[in-house]
Structure formats: structure tokens, C-alpha cells
Chain A
Amino acid sequence: MTELVVVSGKGGTGKTSLVGSLAALSENKVMVDCDVDAADLHLILNNRVQKTIEFIGGKGASIVNEKCTNCGICLDYCRFDAIKHESHTENGGEERYWIDKHACEGCAVCVRNCPEQAIDFNEIVSGEWYLSDTPYGPLVHARLGIAQANSGKLVSVLRKQALLLAEQRELDLILIDGPPGIGCPVIASITGTGYVLVVTEPSMSAMHDMERLLQLTAHFGIPTGICINKCDINPELSSQIEEKARKLNLPVHGRIRHDEAVTRAQLNQKSVVENGDSPAARDIRALWEGVKNAIS
């Protein structure tokens, strides 16, 4: 069984559209949407949610006003500027301390140092994850609560579930749609996978971002291949990407032409390869043949 993850560094290069097509082209697999703060894959997979599970991302502190004596010790201890103070002169109300839940990282330092034990420390539901059925196989996806942290932890939960499903149902492939960037959720999405497919496009920005991502996959020693999307927007830069790949000894599995058919498919809530014939659909089919060989 192989875990194939599609990432890009830069957002909007076409990861999800590509994964949707790979979901249609590949067999015997489970899909995972690891872009947990902006998950879109389900929009083109015609999913039906079978199971919804709360995600406990961590803990958070909150001040119990009845017990608080406004001593302000917590304020001195917090390194995240999460303790807020309102003196009674402001807005005419009573003096009070409270915790900005978006700034609180759940370290419990204030909880331990409060002389009145006036700070509660409870688990926080910071999102939910779903198990869906789709015509292409099971889909594991999630929705991180708005303005929540711990996206990396949620990604790990999703991957564990997908692995479990793959074992139970004897599936051959775990197809992962990754998040943009190179930080926490990306690291959680790619560590321990069998193959990273980087979707880039011929722009200075996307190339810059791809190079940082390639450093990351090299750092973790994961086999990596490249796909150039919208390759005809700047043929010269597309050649430069190929040159770069040659130097790094990385395969370029495909070049997908810029094609309005990609947006049309999305509007029809379908993958590109299932929305009639188009240059992009043909390019993606050719790409999958290359990737299939690379991961088998």
C-alpha cells in the first residue's frame, strides 16, 4: 500500500483539481483531504458524510470571574499575550481579566501560577472530521474550527484514519490532498508517505515556493516528482522548471495545459477527466500513467 500526497508550496496551483481527477483514474484507494483549514476536495467528489467525529485539538485556559481577585499574576506569566485586562475606568464596567482564546496556546502556565485556582483548563473542541462515501471510494476529511490552532494534529488524525481504513478494506492507495505552505500541516501531511507529487506552475512565485518545498521533501528523504500545471502560461519558465528537476534528479511526470475546462469541471462539481474531453483532461491522464509507474 502506498501513500501518495499532492502538495505545492504555493496555494492555488491546482492540487485539489488534480487529486479529484486522480481519484477518478486510480483504483482501490481512500482519499484524504489534509487541507483542513480550507478543505475543498469533497466539493467535486459527490460525497455523503457517513460519520462525524469531534476533534479535540488541545486544551485552553479560561478565568473564572467569581474566583479571580484581579491580582494580575497570570498576566506576567503568559508569553502569548493571551491574558487581557480591563480596568474599571474603561467602559464603566468592573475591573476584570480574561483570556483571549485565539491567543491562548494551552500551556497551563497561568493555571499553575494562579494563587486562587481561578483558571479552568479544559479540552477544546477545535473542529470535526468526517468519514464520507464517494463513488470513488471512502474520503476522510475535516473542518478545523474557525481561527483554531493544531491543524498539524488534525492532519495526523486524518492520516491515521485513512491508514486504518486502507488496512481494513485492503486498499492499495492512500491519495492525499495536501495543504499549501511548508509549515506544520504540510510536515504532518508528508512525513512517512511513500511519494510526494509537487504541483507547480510556471511563475516566479510558484517556482520560488516549489524550491522551498523540494528542500523540505529532501530534508525528510521522501521520493518526489513534479507536475507543471498551466505549463503554457510561460513556456520559458516551464523549461526552467524542467531544467531544475533534471539537476535535482527528480522526474517531471506531466505538463498540464492552461484550460478553461478545469474551471468548467469544478462548476459542474466533477473532476476534470470526467467532464468531457479537453486538453487538460488528456494531459492529466498521461500524468497519472507516469505517477502510477513511479509509485508502483
Chain B
Amino acid sequence: MKIAIASGKGGTGKTTIATNMAVAIAREGRDVTYIDCDVEEPNGHIFLKPKIREQYDATVLVPHVDLNKCTLCGDCSAACEFNAIAVLGKTVEVFPSICHSCGGCSDVCPENAIVDIPRTIGHISHGDGMGVQFYEGRLNVGEAISPPVTKALRRLDTDSEVLIIDAPPGTSCPVIEAISGTDYVILVTEPTPFGLNDLKLAVGMVQEIGLPHGVVINRSDIGDGKTEEFCHRQNLDILMTIPFERRVAEAYSRGEMMSDVNSEYERRFWELYCSIAEKVSS
């Protein structure tokens, strides 16, 4: 069972829900893996406090030009849709940060002067914390293209019964990479105009790629009733509502779990998981 936690708007509580649900599942004796796919700003480690057991590089392939073979014909730069390779004077310049690793340049080079070499753009950590298997992808600062790190994470072989995937905010390519192939997407929102606007975009996204989904309304008492109205109108399941509690916000700020301040939440997150498991299996 693969469950992704996503949201259009940032800061609505994705990581809070993902980590609390993972721990609640683990405490029921289930084998659960948490994967932090917010590779630009991963925060799950702050809450799960994992012991990291292994770490490896996330790499992409970029072209390397052998200037002894190169005749400066320019076929490579003509083939590149991303302007990532160019013949400049008597040399060929590669711009690795905008390269999409498609292999187009090495494919068209008539002299076989281009080979693909790996370039590290981030790393992946694996460990465990609070009874949960933990994976995290982390993009190196200054790198622009994050989806390859997410792709590497999603390709991992994990035999856990439950996978919890913590997605980045937004509705564009890094999010798609994180949530594709999951069984269910939890969309986290808050009942404010910004939250609702971004929820609509997020619902459009999961509908476009055709994944079952439901909504968790966090800080459910801070705004107005329009988010609930929207969910009812669109026949979206409201899986859980979480009222604002200052002591929960304070605990969050210190990197603590919700169940640390209010033990009721362990049961509520287990029930959240059970309700999703039921929807997926039916």
C-alpha cells in the first residue's frame, strides 16, 4: 500500500501528517516506510529523528566530450532541446545544471565523441526512527532540477507493507514524480482562501493523473466553511479535520510529534490509515 501526502499550498501540514501517520502505523506493529520526497526542503528527519545507516549519491548522466575525437560539427547542440551543449570557438561547452540527461547529444554525435558520465546532484539517506523505516532524498543547494532525486527514491526496493510518501508542495513536475504510481493521495489543506485555491489546483492534478484521493483539513477552525463546501460539492472525502491548537503548533516548532502533546492523535492517525486502507482495498 502506497500512500502519498501532497498539497498545493506549502506549510499546510504534509510532513506532520505523514510522520504522525507513519508512527501510528508502526505502533500497531506494522512494517512501514516513510519516504521524504520533498527533496528541496526535506523535514521528515526532524520529527522521526532517524539513525542513518547508509547514504549514497543521487546522480544524473551528463555528456562528456572527447575533444580529440570531436570535429566541432555542432550536431550535438542542434539536437539538444534544452540548450545544454554548445560549440564555442574550438571547444564544446556543456551546461550540466540545465541538462536533462536525455542522451540526445551522444546519440547523434557522428564521431562517437560523447560519453555519458554520472554527476552527483544530491543524496539519499536510509535509516530508521521511531519504528519507521526512513528514506530521504536531498537535492544539493544550487541544483535546479530535482525530479531525478525523487525518481531515484521512488525506484527503491522496499518490501514494507505500507509506504508513506511525503511530497513537495505545488502541482508541477516534482510533485508528479513523487505521487505517481501510488494507491492513494491525501491532500492536506487549511480552510482559508489561499488553502482552498491551492486545494482546487491539487485536486485538478490528482484527477488529471487519475489517482484516488481524499482531503485532510488542518487548522480546521481558523478560516471559513468554504473548503468543506467545496469538498461536499465535488464529492471529495474529508478524511480528517484537525483543529488548531497552540500547544500542537509549539510542539511542532520543537520537532515533536502531535501525539506527544495529545495522545488521542495516535489513535486518530491509525484510524486515518485504516479508512484509506479500506477505500483502497474495496
Contacts and interface: CB of A to CB of B under 8 A. Distances in A.
Interface in A114-156: 144, 146-149, 151-152
Contacts of B209: 102, 147
Interface stretch (A85-93, A163-171, A211-219, A247-255): A211-219
Interface stretch (B50-58, B65-73, B99-107): B99-107
A108 B8 contact: no
B141 A181 contact: no
A225 interface: no
B144 interface: yes
Given A181-B40, A233-B253, A266-B192, A147 B171 contact: yes
B213 interface: no
A79 B41 contact: no
Contacts of B86: none
A80 to B, nearest CB: 7
Contacts of A16: 194
B253 A203 contact: yes
Contacts of A182: 40-41, 139, 141
Interface stretch (A24-32, A37-45, A48-56, A62-70): A37-45
A159 to B, nearest CB: 15
A34 B42 CA distance: 22
A151 B172 contact: yes
A13 B252 CA distance: 14
B243 interface: no
B172 A148 contact: yes
B125 interface: no
Given A43-B193, A79-B103, A267-B193, A11 B11 contact: yes
Helix, strand, loop or mixed for chain B's interface?
loop
A248 to B, nearest CB: 14
Contacts of B82: 107
Contact of A37 (B141, B145, B172, B208): B172
Nearest to A41: B194
Interface string A79-109: 1100000000000000000000010011111
B74 interface: no
Nearest to B139: A183
A37 B169 CA distance: 9
Interface in A188-217: 201-205, 208-209, 212, 215-216
Given A12-B10, A109-B107, A183-B144, A38 B40 contact: no
B223 interface: yes
A216 B142 CA distance: 6
Nearest to A216: B141
A113 interface: yes
Contacts of B43: 10, 204-205, 208-209
Contacts of B198: 38, 40
A15 B40 CA distance: 18
Nearest to B172: A37
Given A112-B107, A147-B209, A263-B223, A38 B170 contact: yes
B171 A212 contact: no
Of residues A107, A151, A201, which shows the largest number of chain B Cβ atoms within 10 Å of its Cβ?
A: A107
Given A107-B102, A205-B46, A209-B41, A38 B8 contact: yes
A31 to B, nearest CB: 16
B46 A12 contact: no
Contacts of A43: 193-194, 197
Rank and list the top 3 A-B pairs by shortest CB-CB distance, nearest first: A11-B10, A12-B11, A107-B102
Given A151-B173, A203-B252, A267-B192, 5 more contacts: A9-B41, A40-B9, A147-B205, A182-B40, A234-B254
Interface of A: 8-13, 16, 36-38, 40, 43-44, 58-59, 77, 79-80, 102, 105-109, 112-113, 144, 146-149, 151-152, 179-184, 186-187, 201-205, 208-209, 212, 215-216, 219, 233-234, 237, 260, 263, 266-267, 269
30 contacts: A10-B43, A11-B10, A11-B12, A12-B169, A37-B8, A37-B201, A38-B10, A38-B171, A59-B81, A77-B107, A79-B101, A80-B102, A108-B81, A109-B103, A112-B104, A148-B173, A149-B173, A152-B144, A179-B170, A182-B141, A203-B253, A204-B253, A205-B15, A205-B46, A205-B255, A215-B141, A219-B141, A266-B193, A266-B194, A269-B193
